[in-house]
Structure 1
Amino acid sequence: MPSVAIVVLDTLRQDYFEEHFNWLPGTRFEQCLTTSNWTIPTHASLFTGRYASEVGTYARSTDLGNDYPTLGGVTTNHTSRFYSANPQMGYFEGWTEPYDDVMSPWEIKQPDSTHLVDWDQFAVTCDETGPKRYFEALKTAIQHNGPTLQSLKKGYEASMLDRTDSDDSGARAIRDQLRRSSFDDEEFIFVNLMEAHSPYTPPTEYQTIDETVDPVFVDRWADDPPDKQVAQQAYDDAVRYLSDVYEEIFTELADAVDYVVTVADHGELLGDHGHWNHVHGLFPELTHVPLVISGADVPEENTEMVVSLLDVHRTAAELLGVANRTDGRGRSLLSPLDPEPQFTEFHGLPQWIEAQLENYGVSDQYDTYDEPLYGVWHLEDGYGYQSVERPTQSIDFQAHQKLIEDFCGTVPTQLERTGTDVNDAVREQLEDLGYA
């Protein structure tokens, strides 16, 4: 069976991709719609081929359950590898368990720490505070099957690190890991690269802005909001770096596997529609994402066919020879396609956003922006989406409204809206990413 790599260029907008990724070979799907607005629900769709509401994985329930088979779980004849610089999937359960080789965000940030204590994981799981926390860290280092003193030294260094001052979000470490790895004939490799995610801090030589730009959802109500042009330039700097470093990573992957699928999980709001980050909404800047399939027998062409992130799941499953073990909704992108409407969904704010709103004195906005929203790319009328600010203007066509009504009536949902409990360490790391 062929080997396949799926690479998620986290938080990469389609318009910036078009500007900076001309080097990427393969078939480009110019009209690709993701399924939601941020990492957890979109990756649930990518891994299962279903809408996040079906899987029950969304803002209030961030674990990945086992009701539906995932790509990593059904590739039993392949060596499966999970290299993600995005720590979110490491915070919650069900995401990495099926894979044979997992490179944690800690190992990506500290590539010489493979045999040491995973201090990021310790921060997530240890509930102790004060002196008890240090005692627990010491006990963990002693009991760990690795060099105790080196683990303690690394733990001390990690606690001193300023995460927002890094000149790389893990792409170089993943590149180096690929370079020193030996690959089997049958491989399934998942990669997530965070260089386009906020805060926008590429290496110094790429920076044209002399400040850290880290917009968050509540900047919508800020007395002194981010400068839109500055934010756009800082994001552009980050994307330029992502393009260059991904070109090196792509070279390694193209040597290791038969097909490389490059896609973004969602885009980013840079003051568009008065919004920042990607916590809320189904605006086209969030839902229109790049998608390219590369391989020796894949034609060099652009296609305007409207496709979905769900189709990436089906395509990978067929290439890997495991389509009979999955039950996703997507289509194979390497076969002739009939036009079909594609949908997006938003199912509320993470409860962690409440603290942001309280700090800005706008906690009364939580319920307003927590309401479900839907969007659809209609075959003739383009993309229509529901919006809090302009509900009567966002869906202008009767065809859009009817399709969304049918969608809501036929797609089963598992939305309990009970909330996800996280400890202080996880909350702090979510704050670093602009989610809390």
Structure 2
Amino acid sequence: MDQPGQLSDVRNVVLIVMDTARENASQQLDCILEDATRFNRAFSASPWTLPSHASIFTGLYPSKHGAHADHKQLEPDVSVLAEVFRDAGYETVAVSNNTWISEEFGFNQCFETFYKTWQYVQSDTDLGRIARQEEGLDKITRAAKALFEGNPVSNLANAIYGQFFRKTDDDGAARTNEWINDWLDTRDDSRPFFLFVNYLEPHLEYRPSKEHAIDHLPGGVTYEEAMEVSQDAWEYIAGTNEMADEDFEILRALYRAEISYLSERIQEVVAILKAAGEWEETLFVVTSDHGENIGEHGLMDHQYALYDTLLHVPLFVHGGPFEDKSVDDLVQLIDLPPTILDVLDIDAPAAREQFQGISFHPDAPETREYAIAEYLAPQPSMDALKKRVGELPDSVRQYDRSLRAIRTAKYKYIRGSDGSRELYDIRNDPGETQDIADTHGDVGDELDAQLDEWLDSFEHADYSDDVSMDEQTKARLEDLGYLQ
């Protein structure tokens, strides 16, 4: 690829992922990133955390990097962005608030520092959810056994922190910013840095403070009433928990309140970078790994579908050649690695050869014709869902499939492994409410062939074995709503 000739004063990179923030969060970010470039058509490569983050880190689609529901691991045989920065002499630092983004699933590769906010003392043994998962004697027995794995003092501190303190204010954003501030104060500033941050807000459950919620709740609804609305996505999907339109209106308000709070925390990071004298030399990227269904398409959470509610995400880039403007070009999150390397003028030929993403640097010669998304296996599986909610109706069994989608500026085509086909005129029907596959068969056939051509253009990862995880990790993931 011919690299852009523009050089800038940027030497650092901050990449922030707002976990589960769908595109309309951009409205609340505009005021704090007013000098940034806003990308209005940015799309994730997958609708949930693990494969989407793997795509951000590698510049690859899930079929290529191989991390998805049937293989929950980012393997070390692909280059990651942190590796490029490490080899270029950067300090590489990650702060994670989501258990999926941890060393257990391969996301610590090439980070010098990997900080997990759900632990008070950084440890390989995670006790933060034991007390919540078990009752009575089982709780005591399991906690006692795990306490003496590794460092008992650290484990005890983490158990107490996870049970009593961590979620008193937020899902880790405040502690994340305190850590970033301390790190910037003490780091060796002779080296440039790459800082990755995953904030967990606004992931289910939506539990904003009363202060933030009251500005968003519908008239006549109290904070206490809002917090009583069911947020059990799996019971809703299975049809065992009925939700009214008013319930979803309240949940969307709570969701917006979470975004509002997180926007303030991101604004705080900008202030921290300015106080440290690093802002003007930093490429600052804010995006999301995926969106959320809050009643749309008969779904909650972010599984079982490839609609734009899950794929259309906010993307703001500040620094270097990115200035105050709005861009309507199609871009994908897998385009971030080549774009960032172009801004910093880092060669990295091996990594660039791997990338499936297309640089959206203002001087880049290419633009994207279409966006691709993949959902290679249901998460949770039908068996896991059945264990949680009981016998599943046929309407839920339809989700036991893989999905791929191709999206142009006008149409969105979704194909399932069960033979299903959906087609939407997203220019006139952005909510994807009217399936026109039956009436526009020629368009569907053309996009179907284009999807096949894309699939045939590269070698797919082949990891047939599922990845085991320890019980503490399972407990934390289930606490976040991920059934295993």
Normalised TM-score (structure 1):
0.86
Deviations 1:7-57 (A, max 9, x none): 111110101322454321311111011101001101111111111111111
How many Å apart are 1:5 and its aligned residue? 1.1
How many Å apart are 1:363 and its aligned residue? 7.2
In 1, Cα distance between the equivalents of 2:382 and 2:348? 38
- Identify the match of residue 476 of structure 2 among 408, 424, 429: 429
Paired position in structure 2 for 1:276: 300
How many Å apart are 1:139 and its aligned residue? 6.0
Give yes or no for contact 1:30–1:304 (8 Å, CA) kept in 2: yes
How many Å apart are 1:214 and its aligned residue? 3.1
Matched, 1:345 2:351: no
Give yes or no for contact 2:118–2:128 (8 Å, CA) kept in 1: no
Give yes or no for contact 1:29–1:290 (8 Å, CA) kept in 2: yes
How many Å apart are 1:217 and its aligned residue? 3.9
Instruction: Map 1:46-61; keep pairs closer than 5 Å.
Output: 46-61=56-71
Structure 1 alignment gaps of length 5 or more: 143-147
In 1, Cα distance between the equivalents of 2:207 and 2:98? 15
- Identify the match of residue 73 of structure 1 among 67, 70, 83: 83
Task: Name the CA shift for 1:415/1:153 in 2 (closer, same or farther; >3 Å).
Answer: closer
Deviations 1:154-210 (A, max 9, x none): 2452363387x5431111111111212234341111111111111111233213442
Paired position in structure 2 for 1:262: 286
Give yes or no for contact 1:106–1:118 (8 Å, CA) kept in 2: no
Give yes or no for contact 2:371–2:408 (8 Å, CA) kept in 1: yes
Matched, 1:311 2:335: yes
Paired position in structure 2 for 1:145: none
In 2, Cα distance between the equivalents of 1:224 and 1:139? 40
How many Å apart are 1:238 and its aligned residue? 0.7
Paired position in structure 1 for 2:220: none
In 2, Cα distance between the equivalents of 1:132 and 1:345? 38
Give yes or no for contact 2:53–2:289 (8 Å, CA) kept in 1: yes
Paired position in structure 1 for 2:212: 206
Structure 2 alignment gaps of length 5 or more: 1-9, 131-137, 215-222, 424-434
Task: Name the CA shift for 1:364/1:98 in 2 (closer, same or farther; >3 Å).
Answer: farther
In 2, Cα distance between the equivalents of 1:55 and 1:343? 14
In 2, Cα distance between the equivalents of 1:84 and 1:138? 25
Paired position in structure 2 for 1:98: 110
- Identify the match of residue 295 of structure 1 among 319, 324, 337: 319
Deviations 1:260-287 (A, max 9, x none): 1111110000010001100221011000
Q: Secondary structure at the match of 2:316?
A: strand
In 1, Cα distance between the equivalents of 2:16 and 2:94? 10
Structure 2 residue identity aligned to 1:94: G
In 1, Cα distance between the equivalents of 2:242 and 2:479? 18
Paired position in structure 2 for 1:225: 242
Structure 2 residue identity aligned to 1:291: L
Structure 2 residue identity aligned to 1:154: A
Structure 1 residue identity aligned to 2:374: E
Paired position in structure 1 for 2:427: none
Deviations 1:293-331 (A, max 9, x none): 101542210010001111111112333415424121112
Task: Name the CA shift for 1:286/1:419 in 2 (closer, same or farther; >3 Å).
Answer: same
Paired position in structure 1 for 2:40: 30
Q: Secondary structure at the match of 2:114?
A: strand
| CA RMSD between the two structures | 2.9
* Larger displacement relative to structure 2 (20-29 or 184-193): 20-29
Identity %: 22
Task: Name the CA shift for 1:141/1:232 in 2 (closer, same or farther; >3 Å).
Answer: same
Matched, 1:331 2:358: yes
Give yes or no for contact 2:40–2:327 (8 Å, CA) kept in 1: yes
